[in-house]
Amino acid sequence: MSARRLLTGLTASLLLLLPAPASVAEAAAPSAGYSVGAGIGDITGEAAEVGMLGYADPAQTTSGIASRQWARAFVVADPAGHHVAFVSAEIDFVTQAVQMEVLKRLRARHGSTYTDQNVVLTATHTHSGPGGFSEYTMWNLTTLGFEAPIFEAIVSGIVRAIDAADARLAPGTVKIAEGTLTGANVNRSLPAFNADPAADRARFPGAVDTRMTVLRFEQGGRPIGLLSFFATHGTSMTPANHLISADNKGYAAHLIEDGVHGVDWAHRGGFVAAFAQTNAGDMSPNLRNGGAQGPTDDEFENTRIIGKLQADKAQQLFDSATEELTGPVDARGRYVDFSAVQVAGAYTPDGQPHRTCPGALGQNFTAGAEDGPGPPIVDEGDLSTNPLLLVAGIVVNPTPAEVRVCQAPKDVFLGSGSQNPPWTPQIMPLQVLRIGQLAITTAPGEFTIVAGQRVRDAVGAQLPGAVTHQILAGYANAYAGYVATPEEYDLQHYEGAATHFGRYTGPAYQQELAKLAAALRDGQPTPSAVQPPALPQNRISVRPGVVLDTPPLGKSFGSVITQPAASYARGATVRVDFVTGHPNNNLRDEGTFLEVQRQTGGTWTTVSTDAEWQTIYRWKREYLGVSTAQITWTVPADAEPGTYRIVHHGDAKGVTGAITPFTGASRTFTVTP
């Protein structure tokens, strides 16, 4: 017997004489219930002339707001003081800079209560929000650099949401329900899915993940929040869209918060409903032509259709939820350098050990996905080398030969992890959290459904008995592209070409997350040997920003250019145009650029703002510093008849650089039954 085996045996014998850790010994778990809380914060970014994040098209810049972006937070604590905070933010993905700053501010407010172990920041993956909130070059290319106002809006809004959830903590329960939703997603990468073994494919009839999990949060029997998990991309709004939109998951949240629970436009103190992502890497909401087109030719209608499907099913599960989560609240997390993970044969297709590689994007990454195609340079799955992309990659972002070998069969376009500093993150945050019999696994990628299932299987194998429900929350705490299975990777469709750390990226996630699950099971600490770097030197923007606002001759800021008609029926659309200033002068977070007001006696009552989905705020630069705001309101079917007006709030930058607020109001109009 080796000395190591002898030491292991002696250690095991001694451990048998000691009390089991609280997280293992169920008898030691607190018998009392949880405290729960929910909160929301406005994270809407710059609404004009800023590159949007998701479709990687520099020409897609913001020009208004279809819906505000929100961060929704849920906090659960057990009697022993263990907390878990889960945030769903209506952005494309969470960046490491955002995660690190949020944790810093939480530490200043709450001490050691919220840490990188038990705080989960996830994204709904809308492709219709402004970008520029990363410190990594790759993610800021289409925004021409770092956008400090957008970064601050997201960070401060997330912190406000967690603060609100923490402040509302009170004795309560969390109930869970699971079901299936069909008709809200398709597999946009069928050839890659079909390359997976038959046993994997058999678990997903129709090549889609139809599972939905809903958590019901209650205080004293009163519902305070809904958290839904379902896999479908935030791409109902197309690359042609220039309006900030929370896409289908944001619309689902609106239907529950406003339509079911009557939450007012201010979103203060009311019910909180979040629609989070799981393994949506190859799941598209665009149901026609293999994920290329939505259910209809109208992107707004597509957003409503896919959002309503999710909302209706989530509400059904919410109403039927009876199983209460009970037992310990606990969490384990660790940062892992994914550029060089040694992966054991237990997690690889051939049973042999392999390793991951420094990050790189393949040439087929430029082809884009079906619902966001790139320029016609290469086709998905084309394994031949494109000389143009090869030369461009060498000039812009050279890749060492050993990385190219490691990434095979990927034909590398950009060696994003081989630069100093790297263009994409390499040190990734991983977590496994437990709320009673539910385990939530988090990872910073877009997992295909088979890759995601393999992670669930690996984690579940370490948590037998105690955990009977599992969720994989992708797009969490950072972002490092896609995670395809090794078999899918070999075909080098978009998802495989965008799998950063090589063929064994997926197995590496399985292995490292299984280790965290084992530590959670055994009550062991999970210190990190590495930490993500801060890259403040990358907070550079070449965008000039707002220079000067001027009204046209004979007009003032807030003047009405286009007045509404005298009356409108329900279902009609009201339009008013104003002289305005640049919206980036003041993001008006937790505020609004517009109000729809109804006259009540001698006062005006706000019935809608730009937080509602019935309104749209469009901004247009007419020439030089002259700009206009077009505000539309689709009169709801249940709108009260009466006298209304449209009010616009804006801010103008003068020659001295001073920013001055202004308000304009339209003439009145009536809404008829």
Q: Which backbone phi and psi does 7 adopt, to 5 degrees?
A: -60, -40
User: Which of 35, 88, 156, 284 does the annotation list as catalytic?
Assistant: 284
Helices of type H across 169-226: 190-194, 198-201
236 by DSSP, 3-state: which? coil
Q: Nearest to residue 478, comparing CAs of 335, 580, 301?
A: 335
- The CB density around residue 37, as the number of other CB atoms within 10 Å, is 25
Tokens encoding 62 = 């913001």
Q: Do the beta carbons of residue 561 and residue 578 sit within 8 Å?
A: yes
Separation between Cα atoms, residue 139 and residue 122, nearest integer Å = 17
Q: Do the beta carbons of residue 173 and residue 215 sit within 8 Å?
A: no
Tokens encoding 148 = 């400090």
Give kind and range of the element (H or E) at residue 486. Answer: helix 486-491
Q: Do the beta carbons of residue 403 and residue 418 sit within 8 Å?
A: yes
Tokens encoding 415 = 């060696």
Separation between Cα atoms, residue 57 and residue 142, nearest integer Å = 6
Sign of CA dihedral 359, 364, 370, 373: positive
Separation between Cα atoms, residue 569 and residue 636, nearest integer Å = 9
Q: Nearest to residue 213, comparing CAs of 229, 232, 226?
A: 229
Helix, strand, coil share (%) of the chain residues, nearest 5 = 25, 30, 40
Strands, DSSP E only, in 436-544? 438-442, 446-447, 469-473, 482-483
**CA end-to-end distance (rounded Å), the chain:** 88
Q: Is 284 an active-site residue? A: yes
Cα R_g (the chain), whole angstroms: 25
Catalytic positions are 284
